[in-house]
Copies of this chain bind each other. A is one copy, B any other.
């Protein structure tokens, strides 16, 4: 057994190295790569992915896992976790025939090209057949993987292990109703924040330096990571001690670069907080996309968009822009970073409206995968739901059902993790405020170590040792619930927008 375990660890280490290399090449592609490098990079990534897959799915690995699973009681709890998680990954990876994996990759690559053109021409009918094919392939994928109730569960499991459509449907439906009603009250309120003073241009160098200061203050280890710029902010991990975040700046905006930094920093703090014992194993990753997103959203929204945060940081920012920020108070910054607007585009949505964008996508994609919704009906259903949840009319497909890349990439089951992240964040944050009664005094002093320590202790260090719901339950005593998030919104925006409760 010891020998098998060592042999398994050796193979997993190599797979981890290959995946780290893939992550480095992907990071470079977004951050540095010159335009003409794309074709060569695509081939390099394809080759590395194929080897990583082949080495991990080698039948020899299956034999080792079989043997170790049979002797699971003789293993240490840590080793047992490793074997369990690896077996789960191995099962998922080997249930798809190689021919199917290539077919899916090929169709997604084609569908992506088609989607780019369809979005450019704002014409869903161009994308219709590709989407139908992708949906069909995902239904086949679900069949290969297996499921109990809904084929959607097999897809969702890839991003949020253990979660099901049956759990999400009522949760999201209740949330949509309550959140939509709150948004209606907010936009109708006579009290609205002043954002005129935030109009640019703002010097990028000063904004960059400010993001770096905040990164360090929040606890990001700059000796074990770095920040760069990219078109779409993201975070990635090559090793426990090499975690990268990116951000972007627009000359017109004072806060968006910082908010991008804090969001990615939330992901990165999770990555930097895993257990060193788990390096080069499948345990060293987030428990799920939802838990990962709970970390980024908590730091971005609950901390970075709080009044105590701006009580501490507005004076710091004023040092860089003394003239323009002379008459600006922390309350002004707090109001401006929490401005609520109903919009058509998900990635531009604020924390009051974001979930509504996600929930309509969840409802459409479960319909498609379960067969209750036809591909032809996607634009109409999309537009009706935007009207229902946000009160807006969708003028064209580009600003409607063609706006997101996910489906063209073949990713179904990914969207709900964004909203789960918000819900988990609110549930965790209620617990945290109980556990750290002077949290806001600390934030007001720019002291985040106590919060980070709590997150390390209760979430980060476990990596994939616990399922997402276990992490939540162990930390808060609760199952996934939408009410804490709504309480958080009502409390915060009730004050900001002068709503009567």
Hey, what's the 0/1 contact readout for A218-242 against B, CB within 8 Å counting as 1?
Answer: 0001111110100000000011111
Q: What separation, in Å, do the CA atoms of A225 and B32 have in the docked complex? A: 9
When C-beta atoms are compared, the residue in chain B nearest to A32 turns out to be B226
Assess the A37–B241 pair: CB atoms within 8 A: yes
Q: What separation, in Å, do the CA atoms of A450 and B458 have in the docked complex? A: 66
Hey, what's the 0/1 contact readout for A241-255 against B, CB within 8 Å counting as 1?
Answer: 110000000000000
Within 8 A of B (CB), among A1-34: 13-14, 17-18, 20-21, 24-25, 28, 32-34
Q: What separation, in Å, do the CA atoms of A14 and B48 have in the docked complex? A: 9
Within 8 A of B (CB), among A60-105: none
A18, A25, A40 — most chain B CB neighbours (10 Å): A40
Assess the A20–B44 pair: CB atoms within 8 A: yes
When C-beta atoms are compared, the residue in chain B nearest to A46 turns out to be B17
Q: Let me know if A280 is at the binding interface, CB within 8 A.
A: yes
How many of these chains are in the complex?
A: 2
Query: In the complex, which residues of chain B have a beta carbon less than 8 angstroms from the beta carbon of A374?
Result: none
Assess the B13–A21 pair: CB atoms within 8 A: no
Q: Let me know if A47 is at the binding interface, CB within 8 A.
A: yes
Q: Let me know if A466 is at the binding interface, CB within 8 A.
A: no
With A44-B21, A48-B17 as known contacts, state yes or no: A37 contacts B224, CB within 8 Å. Answer: yes
Q: Let me know if A35 is at the binding interface, CB within 8 A.
A: yes
Q: What separation, in Å, do the CA atoms of A46 and B51 have in the docked complex? A: 15
Assess the A40–B239 pair: CB atoms within 8 A: yes
Q: Which one of B34, B46, B228, B279 contacts A40 once the chains associate, using CB atoms below 8 Å?
A: B279
Assess the B13–A242 pair: CB atoms within 8 A: no
When C-beta atoms are compared, the residue in chain B nearest to A225 turns out to be B34
Assess the B24–A28 pair: CB atoms within 8 A: yes
Q: Which one of B17, B40, B239, B242 contacts A47 once the chains associate, using CB atoms below 8 Å?
A: B17
Query: In the complex, which residues of chain B have a beta carbon less than 8 angstroms from the beta carbon of A32?
Result: 226, 228
Q: Let me know if A43 is at the binding interface, CB within 8 A.
A: yes
Query: In the complex, which residues of chain B have a beta carbon less than 8 angstroms from the beta carbon of A20?
Result: 40, 44
Q: What separation, in Å, do the CA atoms of A33 and B238 have in the docked complex? A: 10
Q: Which one of B41, B48, B238, B239 contacts A18 once the chains associate, using CB atoms below 8 Å?
A: B48
Query: In the complex, which residues of chain B have a beta carbon less than 8 angstroms from the beta carbon of A221?
Result: 36
Assess the A238–B40 pair: CB atoms within 8 A: yes
**Chain B proximity of A275: nearest CB distance (Å):** 15
Q: Let me know if A39 is at the binding interface, CB within 8 A.
A: yes
Query: In the complex, which residues of chain B have a beta carbon less than 8 angstroms from the beta carbon of A47?
Result: 13-14, 17-18
Query: In the complex, which residues of chain B have a beta carbon less than 8 angstroms from the beta carbon of A222?
Result: 34
Assess the A17–B36 pair: CB atoms within 8 A: no
Q: Which one of B35, B41, B279 contacts A238 once the chains associate, using CB atoms below 8 Å?
A: B41
Query: In the complex, which residues of chain B have a beta carbon less than 8 angstroms from the beta carbon of A39?
Result: 239, 241
Instruction: Please list the residues of chain A having a beta carbon within 8 angstroms of any beta carbon in chain B.
Output: 13-14, 17-18, 20-21, 24-25, 28, 32-37, 39-41, 43-44, 46-48, 51, 221-226, 228, 238-242, 279-280
Other than the given A18-B47, A34-B223, 7 more pairs (CB < 8 A) read: A13-B47, A17-B44, A21-B21, A24-B28, A28-B28, A44-B238, A51-B51
Closest 8 CB pairs of A and B: A40-B239, A37-B242, A17-B47, A36-B241, A36-B224, A17-B44, A20-B44, A21-B21
